[in-house]
Amino acid sequence: MADALFWMDGYKASDAVESFDSLQPLSHPLNDTDFWAVVGSYEGEWQVVRFAQVESRDRVDIDSDSVNNQSAKWASTLSHGQYRSYVDEIRQEIKNGWVYQVNACRLLESESEIDLRSLFQRIQSHHPAPAAAYFKSENWEVASASPETFFRVDSSAQSRKITASPIKGTSRDGKFLEKDRAENVMIVDLMRNDISPLCEIGSVEVPRLLGVEEHPGLFHLVSDVQGTLKESVSYADLLTRLCPAGSITGAPKSSAREVISRFEPYRGIYCGTVGWIYGGRAHFSVAIRTFFKDLRRSPSKTRFGTGAGITWGSDAESEWSETELKAERLMKIASGLL
């Protein structure tokens, strides 16, 4: 673990002291002076690392020149036709009453040599994102340009507040369809249900609904769900209860995950989470717009995920186009074209 490294929100953590493949160390109150980095896959694999060294750094430094990946070849795990069939099956299951909404994704994969640390530095320059993160360990390497905060925790002497900020609705020009608004409200309801058992009775509220945020190359609809955490709730409780995020599964969550499993046998870090815990505060992202390497299973393969939320009002071709839009800018950055 000597070369483990983490960066997010201006924190650069190094000199790993211990690493765990479970959430067990987060199941009890934590010392505010310890810095914990946490990475979780969509499938529920965890790596929790305690770092001894933490410093303020605006960027992740690299030791070599940026790698130009213009020759990298990428292949989609689902073809155009397979993705359209996926959308059609989801719409049939909505008609059957099995689900209301499902997030249908695909992975872009490359066997080309891609330096993710160098790529993350390019992302910081050309695609700044509010939940961007870099992580490197013996298990995973992650370069994330996530725009989505899964949840934040802020502590005071009196209480701990949790704020989840689900994104649903994507547009190139800031104009959204009724389908986008309905999808966002649906996931807000799901997140309220997810966090309510963890919070004091009557404390859960929605201070922002259907806010419009501008990000590089596109716009999103974003809402906030907030509550006061019960004193007994640990970070292990939070992550066990909330993961994977409702914004990248669907509603109801269990039914949506069953439909997803028919077409997506593996997501890995994509649609998982990356985050930190330090000084009585925490910030976890939803790991979208994320490049990653699964160093235990396929160390030479780089993956990048893209997806779209499917409702009864979805059109299969439009949803495919949305996955293309979400990937477009970051794939250009990965290829050295931006």
- Per the DSSP assignment, residues forming a β-bridge with 170 are 220
- Write down the pLDDT at residue 154: 97
Grade residue 67 by pLDDT with cuts at 50, 70 and 90: low
E strand or H helix at 10: none
DSSP state of 53: E
Given 12, 136, 141, 148, the catalytic residue: 148
CA distance 228 to 326: 33
Judge whether 175 counts as a catalytic residue.
no
Q: Give how far the C-alpha of residue 326 lies from the chain's centroid of Cα atoms, to the nearest Å.
A: 13
pLDDT of residue 157: 80
Per-residue confidence band for 171, with pLDDT thresholds at 50, 70 and 90? confident
- Three-state secondary structure call for residue 83: helix
Asked whether residue 72 carries a pLDDT value surpassing 70, the answer given is yes
Instruction: Summarize pLDDT for 105-146 with one digit per residue, the tens.
Output: 999 999 998 999 999 999 999 999 999 999 999 999 999 999
Residue 68, CA atoms < 13 Å, CB-side half-sphere: 4
pLDDT given at position 84 = 98
45 DSSP 8-state letter = -
Q: Which range has the worst mean pLDDT, 64-78, 140-154, 190-204?
A: 64-78
Taking alpha carbons only, the member of 215, 231, 125, 112 closest to residue 173 is: 215
How many angstroms separate the CA atoms of 230 and 209, rounded?
24
Cis status of the peptide bond prior to 244, with omega within 30 of 0: yes
Q: Using alpha carbons, list the distances in angstroms from residue 282 to 18, 178, 188, 243, 308.
A: 19, 33, 21, 15, 27
> What tokens appear for 230 in the block?
């019960």
One of 12, 168, 179, 326 is an active-site residue; which one?
168
Q: Give the tens place of pLDDT for each residue, 198-256.
A: 999 999 999 999 999 998 888 999 999 999 999 999 999 999 999 999 999 999 999 99
CA distance linking residue 35 with residue 282, whole number of Å: 10
pTM of the model: 0.95
Q: Which two tokens stand for residue 325?
A: 């839009």
Domain count for the chain: 1
Whether 101 shows a pLDDT value over 60: the answer reads yes
What pLDDT shows up at residue 263?
Answer: 98
Give the separation between CA 97 and CA 95, rounded to whole angstroms: 5
Is there a catalytic annotation at residue 168? yes
What's the confidence (pLDDT) of residue 198? 98
CATH number at residue 122: 3.60.120.10
| In the predicted structure, residue 177 carries a pLDDT above the cut 60 | yes
- Say if CB 152 and CB 162 are below 8 A apart: yes
Lookup result for tokens 């719409």:
91
- Residue 244's nearest CA partner among 233, 229, 256 is 256
Residue range 319-336, pLDDT digits in tens: 999 999 999 999 999 988
Range of the domain at 52: 5-334
* Helix runs in 127-266, H state only: 178-195, 235-242, 253-263
Q: Beta-carbon neighbour count of residue 325 at 10 Å?
A: 16
Query: Tokens in use for 68?
Result: 């130009």
Does the pLDDT at position 337 exceed 90?
A: no
Q: What integer pLDDT is reported at residue 176 of this predicted model? A: 92
Lowest mean pLDDT among 74-88, 176-190, 259-273: 176-190
Q: Give the tens place of pLDDT for each residue, 33-65.
A: 999 999 999 999 999 999 999 999 988 876 555
